[in-house]
Amino acid sequence: MQRLGTIDVFPPAENFVYMDAASVGLTHKGAAAAINRWQQALADEGTIAFDEQDEVECLDNLNDAAARLFNAQVRDIATASSETVLMQSLAWAVMPPKGTTIVATDTTHPSTVYPWMRVAETTGAEMRWARADNLYIDPDHLESLIDDSTSVVCLSHVEYGTGQTFDLARFAAKAHMHGAICVVDVTQSAGQVPIDVAATGIDAAAASTYKWLCGPFGTGIMYVSQALQKLRPGIVGWRSHKNMWDFQADRLELPDTAKRYEFGTMAYGTAYGATEAMNYLLGHSIEKIHAHNRVIADRLMTGLQALGAEVLSPRKAAERSATIAARFPGKNSRDFARTLKENNVIASLRRDFIRFSPHLYNNADDIDRGLASIKAAL
């Protein structure tokens, strides 16, 4: 299997067996160049190079790419500097009240759920945790926790550690049956697994762009349903006003769209980079990337098992992604990850396991080289 993302676009893929997209994906070369160009032009010419119209358009273009990524309307998209910021603003907008429960998994990423926990601290809403068994969340157990007390089901589409993937349509339907909303952190899925907000019916989806989207740090994208576009965001600033160039501070009229979740300036150059990276991935189609990644991840999983590793990721096709977590019997994962890195095999240590996350720029040779290094280090 050839690389889908080629060496000219992802040069480091030639020198390393880079399997760390779940931590930080290789940045699309054109995306990095766009950011640098913007920064240099700003340094050289200030607002001559980047005027007020550019300030609007750069986020509009990013919204447009995100809408295509999520199969949403552009009016349903907001962008800011990270997933956490957007999720935080949404959690304060929703403000799950006292007497209600927020359902989440105990394997989720802190950034997915801390915003909701923080709001719950203030309102008195309660967290209800789906507990993992050896890092696996039983979807039936998760579903059984959603009942009439639930106000929010807060999930990570793909779990950061094991890559366990949830059936969003199932949990959105269950949430809605009980009058709750289903809010999803798609940071670990966007770019590797197709996301269809229209087909799944989820109420919100937020992601940072530096992992599977091959974009930069500093940009986050969010879809929110039209119902959530009627709420008052937790974070507001000058961009929050309907006509932000008014600069009239004694009133705040929010836009009627998801744009109300955009609030201030940001490192705008990252928006150019993120847009470039997303358009590149969309040019391949996420379905094609998903299929590519499935083949290389299968090869990796089979190889790891043959080497006696304890694979912690689910085996069922529908519950898997290209993120594969493993422990190596008799080996300290921290030391083992370091040894692999010294051999140019890049993966990440998470808790007491090693997480491998190959992406479109990996090919079958990479996987075989990685497995050979692992074998030699065992």
Contact residues toward ligand PLP (CB under 6 A) are: 82-84, 109, 111-112, 156, 160, 185, 187-188, 208
- Taking the complex as a whole, how short is the minimal distance between the CB of residue 258 and ligand PLP, in angstroms? 18
Cβ at position 284, least distance to ligand PLP in Å:
23
Return the number of the residue (130 or 374) whose C-beta is nearest ligand PLP.
130
Smallest distance, Å, CB 209 to ligand PLP?
9
Residue type, 59: L
DSSP 48-82: GTS-HHHHHHHHHHHHHHHHHHHT--GGGEEEES-
> Is the CB of residue 128 less than 8 Å from the CB of residue 145?
yes
Q: Which is nearer to ligand PLP, 112 or 363 (CB)?
A: 112
Contacts of 199 (CB under 8 A, 6+ apart): 71, 169
| Least gap, CB of 355 to ligand PLP (angstroms) | 10
In the complex with ligand PLP, which residue's Cβ is closer, 157 or 292? Answer: 157
Residue type, 322: A
Q: Which is nearer to ligand PLP, 62 or 371 (CB)?
A: 62
Name the residue nearer to ligand PLP (CB basis): 270 or 362: 270
Per-residue buried b or exposed e for 50-65, using 16+ beta carbons within 10 Å of the residue's own CB = beeeebeebbebbbeb
Q: How far is the CB of 163 from ligand PLP (least distance, A)?
A: 11
Amino acid at 51: D
Q: How far apart are CA 152 and CA 185, in angstroms?
A: 13
Amino acid at 5: G
CB atoms within 10 A of CB 43: 9
- Residue 185 CB, nearest distance to ligand PLP (Å)? 5
By beta-carbon proximity to ligand PLP, the closer residue of 156 and 373 is 156
Structure tokens at 378: 């065992």
